[in-house]
Structure 1
Amino acid sequence: MNFRQEFLLLLKARYPIIYISTFEEDRLEYTIRTIIKGVTPRHLYIWDFIDGYQVNPIHEGFGKRNPLQALELIEQAPLTSPSLFILRDFRRFLSDINISRKLKNTARVLKLQPKTIIIVDSEINIPSDLKDCTTVIKFSLPNNLEIRDEIVRLVIRMQLCDRAPEKFLEKIIMSCQGLSLEKIRRVLAKTITLYKCIDNKCIDLILQEKKQIINQTNILEFWPVKETLRDLGGVTNLKKWLAKRSKSFSELATNYGLAIPRGVLLIGIQGSGKSLVAKGVAAEWKLPLLRLDVGRLFGGIMGESESRVRQMISIAESLAPCILWVDEIDKAFAESTQSMDNGTTSRVLGTFLTWLAEKEVPVFVIATANNIYMLPVEILRKGRFDEIFFIGLPNREERRMIFKVHLSRLRPETWSKYNLDLLSRQTNDFSGAEIEQSITEAMHTAFSQKREFTTTDISKAIKQTIPLVRIDPERLDMVQEWAYSGRIRIA
């Protein structure tokens, strides 16, 4: 059921208070006007704290800076004319006992009258004593058809050409997903100002706009992608598994009836390349990468953490298809912390896991963890992720490949002069990160002596490095126990 159908149903069923959360006040009010004009004619009253009631000329300015008076007008409005009362930013007054009591009294009367109160705010925060008489409905960001219509309208209005550029239209529409209509107008206007046209150049500007939106939330980060899976040595099984699903978000896959992949959980010690997998998948699949630091979900105010989870989910879904990279999930949801915070961690985890299991939007989740024993068993249950992979230490051939990847990037003309076989033999128990660091150390040594670094420099750096697994061998043993027992797959 879409917004129009649900809104009409609530009006006809005489629901007294409808709460709509959106940043797009203008678009929402335009949508409501078109609904009541075409199907169920009603008088429209719009109130805000500064200007009072607007639109309706008889009561122009009534209730200015007085939310209680704004509610009194609802009772005074004639019963003979069905009416809608839009109250902007009214959430801020709901905690006042005078306002909440008046709302409850008014709601009781409105059940028998053709009047409806619509509270419009950017956040959902309903006091417990008003939840029974308030119904929340979702006003989604513009869909593909609305975005297409806006682009076509703007192209024709600006007289750029007789029709929208079909060659780029689909790419631009996909790029605009997750933006409000107002932001789409702004970024397209910026493109036209800069380039005098709408083409592929505007996609970079749109992505910059998305980056601004995501960074403002202070929950998700829009992560730039440079690495590919070719920059990751080893993990052959994981690469094959991902390659099978690389086209799963396409229209052809949907028409085929293919289920949208949920994601993977990657487990292994630090430096094994788990984060690089997330970046590589985003690059290979050509999807935006959103990074979630789970620690940012937790706030100090009661209910704030749960609100942040819902906000994170809403942002990720609005930008779909995308990759959601959940970094070090074991530290945030460790079982040992769940009994020490009045249940906040359990509630956040429950909301997150429910979304993982039931999401129907193309958000591919890549979660990473270092210690499988810190994870709650609910995360490991089938249905949360499509698969759980163990990324262990690279074997000799994989270490050789890792050296080749790094050296060919640093010295594309001369990498073959380095003795990769010797270096791979010397780095037993090294992770990919430790191999990279040994090359970096060799480069520092040679640079300080004003010469090119050699295999010997790298060998010396290797001898000076103590791999993490030798410092803390139990950390690898615990994860390997799960991997080699068949409970999780080896990457």
Structure 2
Amino acid sequence: MTGITDELKLYLRARVPVIVLVTVEERRALEVLDRVRRERDANAASDLITWDIAQGLRSHSGRQLPAAATPDMALDKIAELTLKHRDRKDLYVLMDFHEFWHKHPQVKRRLRNLAHSLVNTYSSLVVTTQSADVPAELGDDVVVLDMPLPDLPALRNDLDTLIRQTGVICELPVHGRVRLAQAALGLTAAQARRAFSKAIVRDKVLDEQDIPAVLEEKKAVIRASQALEFYSAEETLDDVGGLELLKEWLTLRERAFGEEAARFGLPAPKGMALIGIPGTGKSLTAKMISGLWRLPLLRLDVGALFGSLVGESEERLRLALKITEAVSPCVLWIDEIEKSLAGGGLDGGTSQRVFGTILTWMQEKTKPVFVVATANDVTALPPETLRRGRFDEVFFLDLPTDSERREILSVHLRKRRRNPGAFDIRQLARLSDGYVGAEIEQAIIDAMYRAFADGPRDITTADVAASFARLVPLSRSQKERIEDLRAWLREGRAQSASFAEASLAAENQVRLELA
């Protein structure tokens, strides 16, 4: 909270007349503003005065204020009060005022007039709003600040306060309380308090079992944001067959988010792009990174960002990125990033603005968020999307090689409690040439369905082989598209995720250069 507090103090000392504070946490915003007002100048006469359409003007110090039932009257009365008491350092807060400045031109004009008159006083005006959509006419008169979600120290303080107030038995040591507060990162202060309170009343004790319970609460809240989903990824390197070069790259960076790496001078990794054929493990890789690095995983569904109302898509994206930064350090999985351009210019430029905002944020973010962007159709992405600075590396996931297919077969058989040693893995690997990992998994599942219906009995090599014979792989059904994607790798535009493929790509690149 230090960041937003310092910014508010700075702008108030600079006598900026109007500040637009973007937040969904009205009560917390008022607490912060009141603290800033009191700390700004402890010896000055000042007050926090709020206005809303239901209760009009209210003084937090108990002063009698004139009635102001409408936004027009509120602005007029504030102008009168500030001119009458020029030496006071009052802080006026207008709540839900965005509802009026878009619909009523006279309100917008009065607000501009008030902003001009406040320059000659010591008082300031703050508008709290959930939307950063400020009318263009006000752009020169206001400063827009985005209030971040509560950080770990703030949540830890709220948790300790709640424990003292309720007198609940707390069996969590100091580091356990930190973990419980960490579980609430990404929630508003009110949402976090509800999650902590629910944990307290469940069994009147705070212990280790309450940490996953708070995480479940967070999953539900984040899912309600419509574009984000929280994953408790448990996949490991052993759950992903092949992709040895990619795994080695990730293992080298496993400790890069810690303080030791920062002291060494290493920046936190920015992210990677995973391009390639559908079903080759791009989504599974994102989950594996989260499990390997022991970081929370957030999935951004770009398609779910788009809404029908003006500004709705941009607002959803802004909220999603704010939650992501609050949860950091974390992994942000942007699934099928090319979907952000699905509008094709026919949606009034919304898709272009959303895509541009994502790219700008990826370039300029300072929070430790590792971005994993997946794409099936690289031709739909502008060339600047994959440049360095946004991603540390671009990996291409090709059709699995023979050794990778053997590994994938073993992984999926073990996952279904079958011993790979009981199967002719080499034969199945030959039969699955041209199949991607998802298709190999489906062949095993198909064989299990048939074996279950026939008895049930256990599956055999012949069952899986018969499944391969029935399935038509993507490499045949969409042969031209797959060849186009593989040609993109052979041109040297990305790093192969597999050692064998990397050697082949390097040889092809040399041949191209010699030709």
TM range (shorter): over 0.9
1:472 is matched with which residue: 475, 478, 485? Answer: 478
- Who is 1:234 aligned against? 242
Query: Which one-letter code corresponds to 1:179 in the other structure?
Result: L
Deviation at residue 356 of structure 1 after TM alignment: 0.9
- Who is 2:436 aligned against? 431
Pairs within 5 Å for 1:258-277: 258-277=266-285
1:187 is matched with which residue: 162, 180, 195? Answer: 195
Instruction: Name the CA shift for 1:16/1:39 in 2 (closer, same or farther; >3 Å).
Output: closer
1:419 is matched with which residue: 409, 417, 424? Answer: 424
Structure 1: how far apart are the matches of 2:235 and 2:344? 36
Give 3-state SS (helix, strand or coil) of 1:137's partner: strand
Give 3-state SS (helix, strand or coil) of 2:334's partner: strand
Deviation at residue 3 of structure 1 after TM alignment: 2.0
Instruction: Name the CA shift for 1:397/1:216 in 2 (closer, same or farther; >3 Å).
Output: same
2:263 is matched with which residue: 255, 267, 279? Answer: 255
Pairs within 5 Å for 1:22-41: 22-40=23-41, 41=44
Structure 1: how far apart are the matches of 2:149 and 2:480? 49
Give 3-state SS (helix, strand or coil) of 2:125's partner: strand
Residue 408 (structure 1) aligned with residue 409 (structure 2): no
- Who is 2:56 aligned against? 52
Q: Is the 8 A contact 1:338 1:344 kept in 2?
A: no
**Relative to structure 2, which stretch is displaced further, 298-307 or 227-236?**
298-307
Residue 371 (structure 1) aligned with residue 372 (structure 2): no
Structure 1: how far apart are the matches of 2:14 and 2:274? 49
Query: Which one-letter code corresponds to 2:144 in the other structure?
Result: V
Structure 2: how far apart are the matches of 1:440 and 1:25? 51
Pairs within 5 Å for 1:278-297: 278-297=286-305
Pairs within 5 Å for 1:71-470: 71-77=75-81, 78-79=84-85, 80-95=87-102, 96-160=104-168, 165-333=173-341, 338-412=344-418, 414-450=419-455, 451-470=457-476
Query: Which one-letter code corresponds to 2:206 in the other structure?
Result: I
Query: Which one-letter code corresponds to 1:159 in the other structure?
Result: G
Instruction: Name the CA shift for 1:224/1:170 in 2 (closer, same or farther; >3 Å).
Output: closer
- Who is 2:71 aligned against? 67
Structure 1: stretches of 5+ with no match in the other structure: none
Give 3-state SS (helix, strand or coil) of 2:331's partner: strand
TM-score scaled by structure 2? Answer: 0.89
**Relative to structure 2, which stretch is displaced further, 468-477 or 97-106?**
468-477
Instruction: Name the CA shift for 1:204/1:121 in 2 (closer, same or farther; >3 Å).
Output: same
Deviation at residue 314 of structure 1 after TM alignment: 1.2
TM-score scaled by structure 1? Answer: 0.93
Deviation at residue 58 of structure 1 after TM alignment: 4.2
Q: Is the 8 A contact 1:156 1:162 kept in 2?
A: no
Residue 489 (structure 1) aligned with residue 491 (structure 2): no
Give 3-state SS (helix, strand or coil) of 1:440's partner: helix
Q: Is the 8 A contact 1:25 1:120 kept in 2?
A: yes
Structure 2: how far apart are the matches of 1:405 and 1:162? 42
Structure 1: how far apart are the matches of 2:255 and 2:436? 31
Q: Is the 8 A contact 1:51 1:61 kept in 2?
A: no
Structure 1: how far apart are the matches of 2:175 and 2:386? 44
Give 3-state SS (helix, strand or coil) of 1:125's partner: coil
Instruction: Name the CA shift for 1:285/1:135 in 2 (closer, same or farther; >3 Å).
Output: same
Deviation at residue 290 of structure 1 after TM alignment: 1.4
Deviation at residue 265 of structure 1 after TM alignment: 0.7
Give 3-state SS (helix, strand or coil) of 1:283's partner: helix
String of CA shifts for 1:117-146, please: whole Å, max 9, x gaps.
Answer: 111122222111112111112322222222
Instruction: Name the CA shift for 1:8/1:477 in 2 (closer, same or farther; >3 Å).
Output: same
Give 3-state SS (helix, strand or coil) of 1:453's partner: coil
String of CA shifts for 1:247-268, please: whole Å, max 9, x gaps.
Answer: 2222322333321111111111
Q: Is the 8 A contact 1:155 1:164 kept in 2?
A: no
Structure 2: how far apart are the matches of 1:182 and 1:192? 15
Give 3-state SS (helix, strand or coil) of 1:132's partner: coil
String of CA shifts for 1:340-391, please: whole Å, max 9, x gaps.
Answer: 3343322222211111111111111111111222221011211111101111
Deviation at residue 35 of structure 1 after TM alignment: 2.2
Give 3-state SS (helix, strand or coil) of 1:345's partner: helix
Deviation at residue 163 of structure 1 after TM alignment: 10
- Who is 2:513 aligned against? none
String of CA shifts for 1:218-243, please: whole Å, max 9, x gaps.
Answer: 11122343433311110000011111
Query: Which one-letter code corresponds to 1:54 in the other structure?
Result: R
Query: Which one-letter code corresponds to 1:27 in the other structure?
Result: R
String of CA shifts for 1:140-194, please: whole Å, max 9, x gaps.
Answer: 2222222222223333333346997213133223222222222222222222222
Deviation at residue 52 of structure 1 after TM alignment: 1.3
**Relative to structure 2, which stretch is displaced further, 384-393 or 133-142?**
133-142
Structure 1: how far apart are the matches of 2:116 and 2:393? 51
Structure 1: how far apart are the matches of 2:273 and 2:348? 27
Q: Is the 8 A contact 1:152 1:163 kept in 2?
A: no
Instruction: Name the CA shift for 1:303/1:24 in 2 (closer, same or farther; >3 Å).
Output: closer
Structure 2: how far apart are the matches of 1:340 and 1:155? 54
Structure 1: how far apart are the matches of 2:119 and 2:175? 52
Structure 2: how far apart are the matches of 1:368 and 1:244? 21
**Relative to structure 2, which stretch is displaced further, 230-239 or 300-309?**
300-309
2:47 is matched with which residue: 43, 46, 69? Answer: 43
Report sequence identity in percent: 37
Structure 2: how far apart are the matches of 1:50 and 1:304? 26
**Relative to structure 2, which stretch is displaced further, 144-153 or 350-359?**
144-153
Structure 2: how far apart are the matches of 1:34 and 1:168? 30
Query: Which one-letter code corresponds to 1:399 in the other structure?
Result: R
Structure 2: how far apart are the matches of 1:416 and 1:124? 60
Query: Which one-letter code corresponds to 1:115 in the other structure?
Result: S
**Relative to structure 2, which stretch is displaced further, 150-159 or 17-26?**
150-159
Aligned residues between the structures: 487
Q: Is the 8 A contact 1:156 1:164 kept in 2?
A: no
Structure 1: how far apart are the matches of 2:320 and 2:443? 38
Structure 2: how far apart are the matches of 1:330 and 1:125? 26
Instruction: Name the CA shift for 1:300/1:150 in 2 (closer, same or farther; >3 Å).
Output: closer
String of CA shifts for 1:305-347, please: whole Å, max 9, x gaps.
Answer: 333322221121111122111111224336xx54433433222
